[in-house]
Amino acid sequence: MSMKSVLIVALALLCAALIGRQIVLERGLRRAARRMREQMADQTTARLALPCPSAGAEELLACLNELLELRQRERADYRRKEQELRRQIANVSHDLRTPLTSILGYLQLLEGEGLSSEKKAEYLAVIEGRARTLQTFIAAFYDLSRIEGGELPLEREKVDLGRALSDQLAASYQQIEESGLAVEVDMASGLPPVWADGGAVTRIFSNLLTNALRHGSGALSVRLYREEACIVSAFSNRAEGLSEEDAAHVFERFYTADKMRTGQSTGLGLAIVKALAERMGHAASARWEDGVFTIEIRWSV
């Protein structure tokens, strides 16, 4: 066989091999496309593969696999948010219904005949208290929505945290006395001011004190100190009813350790604390250790 014939045969074989590989590759791509459609319909996460890989096709499949994984994450995130929204709606409904039911019940009692003036005054006082609770809840929910949506205007200025905390402790003196908690205050001197909104700082300290006085027992420790590039405000009190799991969720809106949701807490106060702190560029955290619950705000200097 001449050299020319050998070259022709070699070229024919090479062309046949290339054509065969192309056919296999095309079939593989079609199979991968069919598999991708099945996965998108069934919401499975198996990765696509080719029986006869090539560099270009493998790169394409890698991109497709990344898109599939991204789609799966988006679906999982959507389901999580949907479940969270349903839970929040249920909690809002409950927190609205509880005081409203009480108000309606006492209004019916007021319609009864032969009520003494003392009983009427007692029922009216209860109705007023439930109405104020409802008003507070609606206001807090509205404020939190505005904060998280970036609609609440915050003006940055230099804020003396020591003075702001001292003023809030003084303003809460009556609440502290009525709670029966022994308050221990330890504030370092000479701390530098932080950039924050003065009203937001007051709201944070007010919410933290209210939360501690409402749910704490024994003694309340309030500390303000410098730690590296931060000033830390820490509120600690014994909270035997909480756990490490509760500490991981206390900043979630509507989360409450009151499992029966008796209306003693809506779970919005601490959510507002975290939202305000983060809006101003600071950080809030919580921990539970040996029955002691601590909330810290780390203020960047």
pLDDT digits 0-9 by tens, 89-136: 666 676 677 788 888 888 888 887 778 888 888 889 888 888 887 887
Smallest CA-to-CA distance from 266 within 86, 88, 103 is with 88
Size of the chain, expressed as the number of residues it contains = 301
Q: What angle in degrees, to the nearest 10, is found between the helix axes of 161-171 and 198-215?
A: 50
Over residues 128-177, the pLDDT tens digits come to: 888 887 887 787 777 777 787 777 788 889 999 999 999 999 988 888 88
Smallest CA-to-CA distance from 213 within 205, 201, 203, 224 is with 205
C-beta separation of 264 from 282 below 8 A: no
Over residues 61-87, the pLDDT tens digits come to: 677 677 777 877 887 887 877 776 676
- Domains, the chain, in order of start with CATH, read 3-76 (no CATH), 92-148 (1.10.287.130), 157-300 (3.30.565.10)
Smallest CA-to-CA distance from 181 within 209, 143, 147 is with 209
Over residues 13-43, the pLDDT tens digits come to: 666 666 666 666 666 666 666 666 666 556 5
How many Cα atoms sit within 13 Å of 108 on the Cβ side?
6
Q: How confident is the model at residue 213 (pLDDT cuts 50, 70, 90)?
A: confident
C-beta separation of 285 from 298 below 8 A: yes
